[in-house]
Structure 1
Amino acid sequence: MIILSLMAILGMIFIFIGWRIWKKEQISLIHSYHYTRVSENDKKPYAEKMGKAFILMGIGMILTEIVNFVTKTTYGWVIFVISFVWGTVMFFKAQKKYNNGVL
């Protein structure tokens, strides 16, 4: 139960950070080496993709807790894995496209 409560809190933090990155274009919330080679013209789409990836991961964390709490099973972890992997793929695709590589 405590782990799941932490998941919901982390999920809300991820959603908040994702929203700040996407809507407020605060890419400074991401480590600087991730956006050093992003051009000024690409900062808006880069921030959008990175923010959406954070939000997706946060929603997955919250849904994990809801599903596990309601069903009294661990099926919610399937949602967590799917959303986390999907968000990570979104990160890597944005990094490759806008930062010319992952590092």
Structure 2
Amino acid sequence: MIFIGLLSIFLGWRIWKKEQITLIHDYHYARVSEKDKKTYTEKMGKACIIGIGCILMGIITFISRVRYGVICLVIFLIWGLIMMYLAQKKYNGGVV
């Protein structure tokens, strides 16, 4: 889980800071205007905070063997998906 979390954070950083919109599937940004691409990549990159939940889950589960790690994962997963949905709706006109 820690590796998956680090990969998610790395990809989010590349999308956000390097504005690599091509890391997102092309139909997700097909209707994003040129002037909104910077803001869109910023929001989509920040939405990759899902990786933080994966890392916390891996660490907490390794240390304590209790289900608190799953709770962290679910919280960050829902938070990240909501952020992605809102960015898609605003800049691409919808999820599909």
Corresponding position of 1:44? 38
Normalization by structure 2: what TM-score?
Answer: 0.97
State the number of aligned residues.
Answer: 96
Corresponding position of 1:3? none
How big is each residue's C-alpha offset from its partner over 1:22-41, in whole Å with a ceiling of 9 and x where there is no partner? 00000100000000000011
Letter in 2 for 1:48: E
Seq. identity, %: 58
Q: Tell me which stretches of 4 or more aligned residues in structure 1 moved more than 2 Å.
A: none
Q: CA RMSD in A?
A: 0.7
Displacement after TM superposition at 1:78 (Å): 0.1
Displacement after TM superposition at 1:47 (Å): 0.2
1:77 aligns with 2:66: no
How big is each residue's C-alpha offset from its partner over 1:46-68, in whole Å with a ceiling of 9 and x where there is no partner? 000100011x1011100111111
Alpha-carbon distance in 1 for matches of 2:68, 2:16: 30
Alpha-carbon distance in 2 for matches of 1:13, 1:68: 19
Letter in 2 for 1:12: L
Displacement after TM superposition at 1:72 (Å): 2.2
Alignment counterpart, residue 12 of structure 1, candidates 6, 21, 39: 6
Letter in 1 for 2:51: G
